[in-house]
Amino acid sequence: MSGFASPRAQAEATTSPGYLSGFGNGFETEALPGALPVGRNSPQRCAYGLYAEQLSGSPFTAPRAANQRSWLYRIRPSVRHWGRFEKIDAGWWRTAPCTEVEPPIAPMRWDPIPIPEAKLSFIDGVHSITTAGDAAMQSGMAAHVYLVTRSMQDEAFSNADGEMLFVLQQGGMRFVTEFGVIDAAPAEIVVIPRGVKLRVELRDGPARGYLCETYGSPFTLPERGPIGANCLANPRDFLTPVAAYEDRETPCRLVVKWGGTLWRTDLDHSPFDVVAWHGNYVPYKYDLRRFSPVGPLLFDHADPSIFTTLTAPSEIPGTANVDLVIFPERWMVAEDTFRPPWYHVNIMSEFMGLVFGQYDAKPHGFVPGGFSLHNCMLPHGPDAAAFAAASEAELKPHKLADTLAFMFETRFPQRLTQYAAALPGLQQDYLACWSGLRRHFTPGRR
């Protein structure tokens, strides 16, 4: 899987100018001709007086399929972006273990959080809803809602605690990273690996969306098994930015999340100073509408794992630290089948959000920007209205159109944050959506 590309070939090979296509490739890209050493990583002197630096996203000795690192050729090594740090208030950002609230033994659902008037950068705008596992054990995750009303300016952020997966719901955002620039819009996801510096800017007004922070291994593509070599999320639809750098000797504030604490230092230059890089430890974006769903063609409702877009595996096979599962537009064709999700009690815990449209199991009450939590072993399923409609529906082929929901599904029970427990949009009557599910049992009649 070589991503070799000269600057000219890059432009020809990518679907969009400014991006390299593929997942897990050994990419290479340079913003100045000849900035990348040829055939070696650490020449005695790098071109243009750059420093060479390796960024290791996996242990050196990780098996080939999981081995991730990139080589960065930059104006200063990262250690020169490191100053005297002081702790700053983490706002509503929480890190596992976070035991401030005892998790309620109930399915829960929230209305969308309104975007406030106050000026919130991405760093101030992370509002944690759940945390799971333990960041210091490099295991578990957190589900957040971000509310961003101002661009970061002369500021940079990096997260040592985990990889960040953004699901954009409202408002486009520009992610300026050490590897280059990613522009993303609602229905796209953006993944920023652990330790990669970024600056988040708004593109068209305030933004709201979801953020999964995964403390364990990075997200990767799931195996396709008997599905074969195509469909689901196809590697070529993942886009990584080409190198772009700032040569700016002006003040910049760097905030690093490390051990659940936000640390701040002041630099006298921009840390986005990577002129060229190569490797497979990279940020990327993906348009969820490119996902090619595969599903039941004759009868029954398959497990939602058929819609796994990315998986962050744990040490236990098939038991993800966290999966990103999506519920995209698709045709429903199964005969003699209750087509919406079945009723369910699950060892994995399910955080769900809605990017746009309606979700078939919950036609009302679960709205774009809202979210729900169906924790470990807590029963849930279609609400009474969805059950009634699906039980009576004429089973013609039917398109679930204009819809995009998703789930962060983790092996760990999710703890609720104080912030989420106190949100005015927490639906106190969520259980009532199932109260219309009356008994229909008639032992005398089949």
Ligand X SMILES: O=C(O)Cc1cc(O)ccc1O
Catalytic residue list = 301
Under 8 Å CB-to-CB from 346, ≥6 apart: which residues? 374, 376, 377
Q: Among ligand X, Fe ion, none, what binds residue 22 when CB lies within 5 to 8 Å by partner kind?
A: none
CA distance 335 to 402: 23
301 contacts Fe ion (rule: CB under 5 A): no
**Residue 350 labelled as part of a binding site:** yes
What is the secondary structure of 95-141 as a DSSP string? -SS--SSPPPSS-EEEPPPPPPSS---TTTTEEEEEEEEEGGGTEEE
Question: Among 147-155, 310-318, 350-358, 385-393, which window interacts with Fe ion (CB under 5 A)?
Answer: 350-358
Determine if 361 is a binding residue for ligand X (CB under 6 A): yes
126 vs 332, which CB is nearer to ligand X? 332
Figure out which of the listed residues 341, 353, 368, 370 binds ligand X, where binding follows CB under 6 A.
Answer: 341
260 binds, among Fe ion, ligand X, none (CB under 5 to 8 A by kind): none
Instruction: Name which of 320 and 361 has its Cβ closer to ligand X.
Output: 361
Q: Is 344 in the site for ligand X (CB under 6 A)?
A: yes
Residues ≥6 apart with Cβ < 8 Å to 229:
none
- We find the least distance from the C-beta atom of residue 327 to Fe ion, in angstroms, to be 11
- Tell me the per-residue interface mask from 277 to 306 with ligand X, x by CB under 6 A, - otherwise: ---------------------------x--
Among Fe ion, ligand X, none, partner that 304 touches (CB below 5 to 8 angstroms by kind): ligand X
What is the edge-to-edge ordering of all strands in the sheet holding 139-148?
Answer: 19-21, 239-241, 284-287, 188-192, 163-170, 207-214, 139-148, 126-134, 415-416
Ligand-binding annotation for 359, yes or no, is yes
Cβ proximity to Fe ion, 183 vs 350, nearer residue: 350
Return the one option of ligand X, Fe ion, none that residue 416 interacts with (CB less than 5 to 8 A, by type): none
Answer for which of 150, 248, 269, 344 binds Fe ion (CB under 5 A) is 344
- Segment holding 188, helix H or strand E: strand 188-192
Regarding 350 and contact with ligand X (CB under 6 A), the answer is yes
* Tokens (6 digits) for 34: 């000849």
Beta bridge partners of 105: none
Question: What is the DSSP code string of 317-343?
Answer: TT-EEEEEEEE-SEEE--SSS--SPPP
The conformation of residue 363, written as its DSSP 8-state character, comes to T
Which listed residue (94, 199, 285, 374) binds ligand X by CB under 6 A?
374
Q: Which residues bind ligand X (CB under 6 A)?
A: 304, 341, 344, 350, 361, 374, 380, 407
